[in-house]
Amino acid sequence: MSACYKINEEALSHELIDGEVVIIQFDTGNYYSLSGSAALVWQRLVTPASVTDLSALFSETPAGAADELATFISELVQEGLLSSAASSVSTAPASPVAYVKPVLNKYTDMQQLLLADPLHEVQEAGWPHTKPPEA
């Protein structure tokens, strides 16, 4: 039986915007975008799925596609976006589409905003000093 995966909902916010999936990982402050086949795979993972389930999304998988898909899943796990699931949950079959290598785009430029405290610097009790006006 192939391994099954589910979206790590507790650590994420994700949304399909204009055909592109945007994922924010709150533990790391990274965010990610997925389009095309990567977005399709992600949307299937909204319910737990195995690699076999994910392969079934594509009409024809060229040599090496299974490895590419496994690598993609492994990246998603490594980034804390997926976790193991006990079993897959079947979904209504969709019309398979042509396979294109799925790509995970990773961005770190909002880490400061998501993790750090850009507004607060004063650590003393009591009324602190007024900071300069906002940008």
Partner 1 sequence: MPSSQQVSTALQTVPEAFFREAESLVRRIASVVTPPSEFSFSIDGLVIRCRFLDPDLVEKIRPSFEHLASTAPDVSPDLTIHLWSEHPDLPAVPRPHPLMLETVRKHLLRVCSDTRYKAFDEDWINSRTWIDLEAGEAFYCVRSAAGLPYYETAAPMRALLNAFLNHHRRQLVHASAVGDSRGGLLLVGEGGSGKSSTALLCLDSPLFHLADDWCVIAPGETPRLASAYSSAKLRPDNLHRFPALAARIHNREKLQEEKATLFLNRHFPEKLLRACPARALILPVVTGEATTRIERVAGTVAWRAMVSCTLAQIPGTDRDSIALMSAFSARLPAYRLLLGRDLAAIPGVLSGLLDKLTA
Distance separating alpha carbons of residues 34 and 106, to the nearest angstrom: 9
93 vs 127, beta carbon nearer partner 1: 127
Q: Which of 2, 9, 13, 87 binds partner 1 (CB under 8 A)?
A: 13
47 with 82: CB under 8 angstroms? no
- Using CA atoms of 125, 127, 129, 130 in order, give the dihedral in degrees to the nearest 10: 130
3-state SS assignment for residue 32: strand
Binding mask of the shown chain, residues 31 to 60, with x at each position contacting partner 1 by CB under 8 A: --x---------------------------
Q: List residues near partner 1 by CB under 8 A.
A: 13-20, 22, 24, 26, 33, 110, 113-114, 117-120, 122-131, 133-135
